[in-house]
Structure 1
Amino acid sequence: MSDRDTRHQQAMQKLKSRVDQKVAEATEQRGLLLVFTGNGKGKTTAAWGTVTRALGYGYKAGVVQFIKGLWECGERERLGEDPNLEVAIMATGFTWDTQNREADTAACREVWADAERMLADPDVYLVVLDEITYMLKFGYLDIETVKHAIDTRPPEQTVIVTGRNAHRDLLAMADTVTEMQEVRHAFNSGLQARRGIDY
């Protein structure tokens, strides 16, 4: 065995030892709170990927879309027939298009009722609150209401929160926080969103 191969084997043995130790220390079993935030692309896509994973194992999942509900959504099109998936949408489109705070608040609260029902249901394994961060930022929803619903959910249920500028209280509560960082975005160079890629 060459020196390089020996060094590689030793490095991999050390890595395996560290990974094995972390696996042995991970003894708690419960649902998680994941927050996908940041200015980069991919937060909703990551959430839908996790929905696909849960459905693949036969778990029930719920997705509540607070912003993009009127947009085409390839994931929703593909997975929508799965009997284990429920999708609720805030059917107003982007708030910067509607420009009507009262109507947007009413629409938000209406779909939030669906979210609260899902968050209280022990049969729902995964709930995605897609773009809910904007609802908190614009004051359509109260942070204490959202925190209470997440805090009192069934212990086996996992929740994913997506959107830019996640509220500091949600970040503090989260088990996992992933921040998507934008290095470059095609839209800023004049390229249109692409069907099947961006939505």
Structure 2
Amino acid sequence: MDGIEHQPVKGPRKKKGLLIVNTGNGKGKTTAALGMVLRAWGRGMAVEVYQFIKPPTANFGEHRAAKRLGIPVYPLGDGFTWKSKDLERTRALALEQWERARARLMDPELSLLVLDEFTYLLHYGWLATADAVEALVERRPMLHVVVTGRYAPAALVEAADLVTEMTLVKHPYREQGIKAQPGVEF
């Protein structure tokens, strides 16, 4: 079907914190990351989500659910970059959020860290890809990190343990003019 033959893993299982990248033009990158957050949280693991681009006042469905569950989600941005009235401020907020998230890469209590929409910092050149990849690779060995966003650079893809590309096949807005809906997009 996908050209990949699925076989059981042979030999001893390794324990290692994974660097996971969800990228591509299709929907589901953040949703997949949040699914991992729920799975880890359900096993009693410490999880945190750092959202780039989304403003601190964001109150989407995932924010409401996380608040009810006690899952820390930290949005910091000023909205969609293509709507920004001050790209320098947008950049500064993104870099401020990176500094906060980067400080968590060595926390021995944290098990899963999500960097939602992080690829945009690299794509726009706000943060050197080499510096970001170095920090992610040098993280605490058992920390799982999930990076989401379009345009994942080759160096990040190369450094990752698991990369999934979401492919857009059909979209209700493009095909039928149906706008984003609560519970589906936000």
Fold equivalence (TM over 0.5): yes
Matched, 1:151 2:132: no
Residue of 155, 158, 175 corresponding to 1:169 = 155
Q: Which residue of 2 aligns with 1:45?
A: 31
| Aligned equivalent of 2:107, options 121, 129, 138 | 121
Kindly state the Cα deviation for residue 71 of structure 1 after the two structures are TM-superposed. 4.0
> C-alpha separation between the residues in 2 aligned to 1:150 and 1:132?
12
Higher Cα radius of gyration:
1
Equivalent runs, 1:19-58 vs 2, <5 Å: 19=7, 22-25=8-11, 27-58=13-44
Cα 1:82–1:145 shift into 2, 3 Å:
farther
- Residue 191, structure 1, aligned to residue 178, structure 2: yes
Aligned partner of residue 64 in structure 1, secondary structure: strand
- Within 5 A, what are the aligned runs for 1:133-144? 133-144=119-130
Find out whether 1:87 has 2:73 as its counterpart. yes
How many residues matched? 180
| Cα RMSD for the two superposed structures | 1.8
Which secondary structure does the structure 2 equivalent of 1:80 belong to? helix
- Do the aligned partners of 1:104 and 1:140 also contact (CA within 8 Å) in 2? no
For 1:194, give the aligned amino acid. Q
**Whole-Å Cα distance in 2 between the matches of residues 82 and 131 of structure 1?**
22
- For residues 44-87 of structure 1, what are the alpha-carbon distances to aligned partners after superposition, in whole Å with 9 as ceiling and x for unaligned? 1100111011110111111111123454321221122444x322
> CA contact under 8 A between 2:20 and 2:160: conserved in structure 1?
yes
- Tell me which amino acid in the other structure corresponds to 2:53: I
Q: How far apart, CA to CA, are the structure 2 residues paired with 1:87 and 1:149?
A: 21
Alpha-carbon shift at residue 26 of structure 1 (Å): 5.2
Q: 1:103 aligns with which of 68, 89, 100?
A: 89
1:66 corresponds in structure 2 to: 52
- TM-score norm. by structure 2 comes to 0.89
How many angstroms does 1:101 deviate by? Answer: 2.4
Mapped partners of 1:191, 1:151: distance in 2: 41
C-alpha spacing 1:186/1:68, structure 2 compared with 1 (3 Å): farther
Structure 1 segments of 4 or more deviating over 4 A? none
Following the alignment from structure 2 to structure 1, what is the Cα–Cα distance between the partners of residues 88 and 25? 27
Structure 1 residues 107-139: Cα deviation after superposition (integer angstroms, max 9, x where no partner): 111111211122121211001111111111112
